[in-house]
């Protein structure tokens, strides 16, 4: 193990302690707006305070720990999220919060003062919440949380009330203007780093995500009496379309830029063994870091829907459409220089998953560090990342923070 300034043992202990705060029988589950999430937040707030940070909850429901700088230089923001998907894992988001905390602790222990304020963030509800929406806290910090979201309801409680319950103030909606740089560490959630035997990934862009609903309508018939040559089987058409989507996605990915397309939801009706399926519904999740490539895919899909078997009609609608988000070139260069200083092997890579950094990047320069995870697994109980890998990412982040702070001074940095 390299000679690091950050404390790997402390990082591991913190990760284990927070992982222990989970719904009984559901490792590892702390969904936003749940009692278990509140318990985890209380644990984090205590650790922030122990580290000498000033602990607050902002209007968007983000838990913040702040260390004041020596000059009027703005804020360097570090962090991620502590909420999980059900049975979701011990490291997704959590590792980024603990690393940010460890960077703050290391700087304090070594007497390394920053000109900038240093703010550690646990963003609220990065994962899809019980209200059906995600990245609630980072959207709020960026001034991008849709006002109509406040009326969303789950089990009789509105999101507006839920925000109050975690200490936020839904009446306030204002983006921060003091952030000069944002760094987020995250597990990769894929196999690239592990298979390439690289210590770190430096994220170049976060993929845009487009979700398209397709409904195919044929004709339900008796499965024993309708001749095979006279059927309009919606399931057969849907199977053809899924195969076409898979082939198209492979062809797009082969061009070099990150691209995926997945049929993640699928249903047919009437849904009886002795009835020819009369309708099928597909939900396509498509992701790309090149917006033009996504536009081409959407045009291709419309054309593909016209090639289905006779008797099949097709309708489609775009349910959501988020553009890709590039990370800041200057901060990527800072991380690259820091990785070389720390002796960490690294590659540049795109993120196929969404992150809070995609929203903070709308208001400030942002960058991400990926660390390997075992077998590329995530959003499952088997999710695992080695403490030494996380600690190395923390060391690189600390080095980049120090370099950024030294090079950028004053209100207009």
Same domain, 135 and 181: yes
Domain that includes residue 118, residue range: 8-207+325-407
Rounded Cα distance between 145 and 149, Å, is 7
pLDDT digits (tens, 9 = 90+) for 386-400: 999 999 999 999 999
3-state secondary structure of 385: coil
How many helices (H) and strands (E) would you count in the chain? 11, 15
- Model confidence at 173, in pLDDT bands (50, 70, 90)? confident
Q: At a CB cut-off of 8 Å and minimum separation 6, what does 68 contact?
A: 54, 117
DSSP class per residue in 18-78:
HHTS--TTSTT---TTSHHHHHHHHHHHHHHHHTTPEEEE-TTS-EEEEE--SSS--EEEE
Residues 44 and 160 in one domain: yes
Q: Is residue 117 part of a domain?
A: yes
* pLDDT surpassing 60 at residue 33: yes
Q: Is residue 412 part of a domain?
A: no
Tokens 């979201």, located at residue: 149
Are residues 341 and 195 both part of a single domain? Answer: yes
Residue 2, pLDDT above cutoff 80: no
What DSSP string runs through 133-166? ---HHHHHHTT---GGGGG-EETTEEHHHHHHHT
* 191 compared with 412, residue with greater pLDDT: 191
Instruction: Tell me what pLDDT residue 410 has.
Output: 58
Greater confidence (111 vs 89) lies with 111
Residues 335 and 289 in one domain: no
- Please check whether residues 283 and 330 belong to one and the same domain: no
Report d(CA 248, CA 243) in Å as an integer. Answer: 9
In the chain, what percentage of residues exceed pLDDT 90? 97
What is the C-alpha to C-alpha distance for residues 344 and 336, in angstroms, rounded to an integer?
9
pLDDT at 174: 85
The number of domains in the chain is 2
User: What integer is the mean pLDDT of 170-187?
Assistant: 95
What per-residue confidence (pLDDT) applies to 327? 98
Together in a domain, 212 and 202: no
CATH code for the domain of 299: 3.30.70.360
Query: 369: closest CA among 122, 74, 79?
Result: 79
> Are 249 and 158 contained in the same domain?
no
Distance (Å) of CA 348 to CA 39, 92, 201, 293, 321:
36, 20, 6, 20, 25
Q: What pLDDT is stored for residue 412 in this prediction?
A: 46
Asked whether residue 388 is domain-assigned, the answer is yes
Of 287, 321, 355, which residue is a domain's last?
Answer: 321
Residues 157 and 60 in one domain: yes
Kindly report the average pLDDT of the chain as a whole number.
97
Q: Tell me if 137 sits within 8 A of 158, measured CB to CB.
A: no
| Domain contains 340 | yes
364 within a domain of the structure (yes/no): yes
| Range 164-182 average pLDDT | 95
In a domain, 261, yes or no: yes
Mean pLDDT of 41-66: 98
Residue 160 has pLDDT above 80, yes or no: yes
At CA 400, angle to CA 398 and CA 402, rounded to 5?
Answer: 70
Considering the domain architecture, whether residues 278 and 140 belong to the same structural domain is answered as no
pLDDT digits (tens, 9 = 90+) for 352-372: 999 999 999 999 999 999 999
Residues 138 and 34 in one domain: yes
Residue 413: pLDDT band (50, 70, 90) is very low
Q: Are residues 212 and 252 located together in one domain of the fold?
A: yes
Question: pLDDT of 208-261, one tens digit each?
Answer: 999 999 999 999 999 999 999 999 999 999 999 999 999 999 999 999 999 999
What CATH number is associated with residue 360? 3.40.630.10
Both 223 and 172 in one domain: the answer is no
Task: Quote the CA–CA distance of 288 and 361 in Å, as a whole number.
Answer: 17
Task: Say if 94 falls within a structural domain.
Answer: yes
Q: Give the integer Cα–Cα distance in Å for 329 and 311.
A: 51
For residue 167, count other CB atoms closer than 10 A to its CB.
17
pLDDT for 331-343, tens place per residue? 999 999 999 999 9
pLDDT at 142: 97
- Which of 276, 300, 321 is the endpoint of a domain? 321
Report the length, in residues, of the chain: 413
Residue 140 Cα to chain centre, angstroms: 16
In a domain? residue 413: no
Of 295, 321, 347, which one is at a domain's C-terminal end? 321
């Amino acid at each position: 193990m390299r000679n690091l300034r950050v404390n790997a043992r402390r990082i591991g202990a913190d990760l284990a302690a927070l992982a222990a705060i989970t719904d009984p029988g559901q490792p590892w589950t702390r969904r936003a707006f749940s009692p278990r999430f509140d318990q985890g937040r209380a644990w984090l707030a205590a650790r922030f305070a122990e580290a000498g940070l000033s602990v607050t909850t902002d209007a968007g429901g983000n838990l913040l720990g702040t260390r004041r700088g020596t000059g009027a230089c703005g804020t360097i923001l570090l962090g991620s999220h502590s909420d999980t998907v059900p049975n979701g894992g011990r490291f997704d988001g959590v590792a980024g919060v603990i690393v940010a905390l460890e960077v703050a602790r290391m700087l304090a222990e070594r007497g390394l003062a920053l000109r900038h304020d240093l703010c550690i963030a646990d963003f609220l509800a990065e994962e899809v919440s019980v209200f059906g929406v995600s990245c609630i806290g980072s959207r709020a910090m960026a001034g991008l949380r849709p006002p109509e979201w406040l009326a969303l309801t789950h089990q009789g409680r509105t999101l507006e009330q839920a925000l109050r319950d975690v200490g936020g103030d839904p009446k306030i909606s204002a983006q921060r203007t003091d952030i000069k740089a944002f760094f987020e560490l995250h597990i990769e959630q894929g196999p690239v780093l592990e298979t390439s035997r690289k210590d770190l990934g430096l994220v170049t862009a976060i993929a845009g995500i487009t979700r398209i609903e397709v409904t195919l309508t044929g004709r339900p018939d008796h499965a024993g009496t309708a001749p095979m040559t006279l059927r309009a089987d919606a399931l057969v058409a849907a199977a053809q379309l899924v195969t076409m989507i898979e082939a198209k996605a492979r062809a797009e990915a082969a061009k070099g830029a990150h691209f995926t397309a997945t049929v993640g939801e699928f249903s047919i009706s009437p849904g009886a063994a002795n009835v020819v399926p009369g309708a099928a519904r597909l939900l396509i999740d498509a992701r790309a870091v090149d917006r033009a490539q996504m536009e081409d895919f959407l045009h291709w899909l419309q054309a593909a829907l016209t090639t289905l078997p006779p008797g099949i009609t097709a309708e489609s609608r775009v349910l959501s459409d988020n553009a890709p988000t590039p990370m800041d070139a200057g901060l990527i260069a800072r991380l690259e220089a820091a990785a070389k200083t720390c002796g960490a092997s690294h590659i540049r890579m795109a993120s196929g998953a969404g992150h809070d950094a995609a929203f903070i990047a709308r208001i400030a320069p942002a960058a991400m560090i990926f660390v390997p995870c075992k077998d590329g697994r995530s959003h499952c109980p088997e999710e695992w990342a080695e403490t030494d890998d996380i600690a190395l990412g923390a060391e690189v982040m600390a080095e980049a923070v120090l370099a950024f702070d030294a090079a950028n001074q004053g209100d207009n940095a």
